[in-house]
Structure 1
Amino acid sequence: MSGEYTSFGLAPATRAGGLLAGGDVQVHRDFVDFVVDGRPLLFRLSDLDAVSPLASDVPPTLFTAQVRGLLLETEAPLPAGRYVLYGCPECEDLACGAVTAVIERDGEDYIWRDFAWQTDVHADLELNGYHGMGPFRFRGAEYRAALDALLNGPSTGARRRVLLIGARVALLARLAAALRTIGIGADIAQDTEDVPADELRAYGAVVFGRSVGAGERDAVRRAFTAAGVDVPYVDGLAPIVPLLVAQTEQALDRSAPGRRRLTALTAAGDRAEVVVTSSCRVRLTAHRIDRLSRTHVQDLFDAVLEPGRHLVPLDAGATKGRSFLVARTGGSVLVTAVGR
């Protein structure tokens, strides 16, 4: 057993939702990730779409129970002292697969070891163990302080409502319905006049419809500033609901740049440039509007990329005319217009 210490911390994280090509829906989840030795633990798991049990949308009693478990104040939920660290973001059923580890005490220290992927109550370390990961030894005071803060402090969840401003009610209604489908609340208004400051503070982003003028936008910004809340403002690229959902998800990601896997996306002509900070699965989807104002969507790329800058060839037919590109990992979404 290693005697070297590893730092332990917690940080807000997001599993970005969205409307995917083919009609699939990916649910938005806000959660708290484990930061081990200054790096999110999830980043060590390259092709994993998962969330920790410390999610903002779980009932308070269950959230507290999860924290108590990590502190070893309750019995392990799985045999051999194993605890779930990451699970399915859609249903959290063990049958979908989960990353688990043994958590134990050694004096005042906490140790995480024998990481594994398991789909039933027993883990097969030889077949499904994460060999080379851990063991991690955490100083007890640092470990307890981080987890106790979740019990004693304010909610760690991000504001999960967005305000849609505009006069094209039909488009905004479709966008609001799509956002609610993936777990993000949405309200529609023509302006923020006479809206109480407390209500404005509940929003995590503002989406402007294309018909909203500069003066109206400035008035909305002044209202939020007066309410003492800093929110990102989204200018819709095109009247394409899945694209607007992706733009909204991008705006809601308030994590520090160093805690993001997907950090840059540009596209021009027949190629896109993607920058990732850790090994992860990246999907690229093109949205375009043809000369008859019909919308088209096409998946262009789906593969695991290593850290660094990557050039990805694009299908000319999928990006001709007025087109846009969405890059997606499990926790990040970036959107860009395709330049000529």
Structure 2
Amino acid sequence: MMDQLKLAALHRIGETNPPKLERHSFDFIVNGVSLFEQTEASNYDMCGSLSNSQFEPELAGRINGRTAAKLTSDAPIGGHRVALFVCPECGDFACGAITALVSRTERGVRWSDFAYENGIDDASKLDLEAFEFQWAAYLSEIEGSKTD
């Protein structure tokens, strides 16, 4: 049985003291469960790697196409690591990111080997099962982030 992916709005409330940017991004809901919660990305004060164009059109225009390509058309058979949740202030990998190995399969696309990474320290593996999504439904959901 294939896993189901949906994008859901994810909102980080801004603050003035200490200064924190307000961010509108997307959570990845897999089989009805928040990946933001499963990975404990909130413990690292992260946001989704896809911006919500309804609230952040300029940022979404700059990053969603590139991120969506990494999750879809650029995903090789052997896979590559893709940031799912990132620093809400700068999106820089060095601030830390929740990543997954994204790879194409015969039936669709697979997310596996979830980890917290920052490019300096060894990756910290997260205890999550792999997910495999049917290609057409997955592509439609990810591509929708560019216009939502």
TM-score category of the 2 structures, normalised to the smaller one: 0.7 to 0.9
Partner Cα distance (1:104, 1:13) in 2: 25
Deviation at 1:68, TM superposition (A): 1.5
The equivalent residue for 2:48 is 52
The equivalent residue for 1:142 is 137
Q: Decide whether the 8 Å contact of 1:111 with 1:138 is kept in 2.
A: yes
Q: Decide whether the 8 Å contact of 1:116 with 1:129 is kept in 2.
A: yes
The residue correspondences of 1:23-172 to structure 2 (distance < 5 A) are 23-46=17-40, 47-56=43-52, 57=56, 58=59, 60-71=61-72, 73-74=73-74, 81-120=80-119, 124=123, 128-131=124-127, 133-151=128-146, 153=147, 156=148
Partner Cα distance (1:101, 1:123) in 2: 15
Q: TM-score, with normalisation over the residues of structure 2?
A: 0.83
Deviation at 1:122, TM superposition (A): 8.1
3-state DSSP of counterpart to 2:140: helix
Q: 1:112 to 1:55 in 2, by over 3 A?
A: same
Partner Cα distance (1:123, 1:103) in 2: 19
CA RMSD, 1 decimal: 2.1
The equivalent residue for 1:280 is none
3-state DSSP of counterpart to 1:107: coil
Q: Decide whether the 8 Å contact of 1:116 with 1:123 is kept in 2.
A: no
Partner Cα distance (1:68, 1:6) in 2: 20
Q: 1:45 to 1:68 in 2, by over 3 A?
A: same
Structure number with the bigger relative contact order (C-alpha 8 A, sep ≥ 6) is: 2
Q: Decide whether the 8 Å contact of 1:8 with 1:138 is kept in 2.
A: yes
Does 34-43 or 4-13 show the bigger shift? Answer: 4-13
Q: 1:95 to 1:10 in 2, by over 3 A?
A: same
Does 84-93 or 58-67 show the bigger shift? Answer: 58-67
Deviation at 1:150, TM superposition (A): 2.7
1:7 pairs, out of 4, 8, 12, with 4
Partner Cα distance (1:16, 1:101) in 2: 26
The residue correspondences of 1:250-269 to structure 2 (distance < 5 A) are none
Partner Cα distance (1:89, 1:45) in 2: 16
Partner Cα distance (1:93, 1:103) in 2: 19
Deviation at 1:82, TM superposition (A): 0.4
Q: TM-score, with normalisation over the residues of structure 1?
A: 0.38
Residue deviations 1:36-56 (CA, integer Å, cap 9, x gap): 111221011332321111113
Deviation at 1:148, TM superposition (A): 2.4
3-state DSSP of counterpart to 1:120: coil
Partner Cα distance (1:122, 1:48) in 2: 15
Deviation at 1:136, TM superposition (A): 0.7
Higher-Rg structure is 1
Of all paired residues, the percent bearing the same amino acid is 25
Q: 1:141 to 1:129 in 2, by over 3 A?
A: same
3-state DSSP of counterpart to 1:90: coil
3-state DSSP of counterpart to 2:98: strand
Deviation at 1:59, TM superposition (A): 5.0
Q: Decide whether the 8 Å contact of 1:32 with 1:54 is kept in 2.
A: yes
Query: Which consecutive residues of structure 2, in runs of 5 or more, have no partner in the other structure?
Result: none
Residue deviations 1:78-135 (CA, integer Å, cap 9, x gap): xx610011111112121111111100111132110000011107853xxx1002x020
Residue deviations 1:257-302 (CA, integer Å, cap 9, x gap): xxxxxxxxxxxxxxxxxxxxxxxxxxxxxxxxxxxxxxxxxxxxxx
Q: Decide whether the 8 Å contact of 2:94 with 2:120 is kept in 1.
A: no
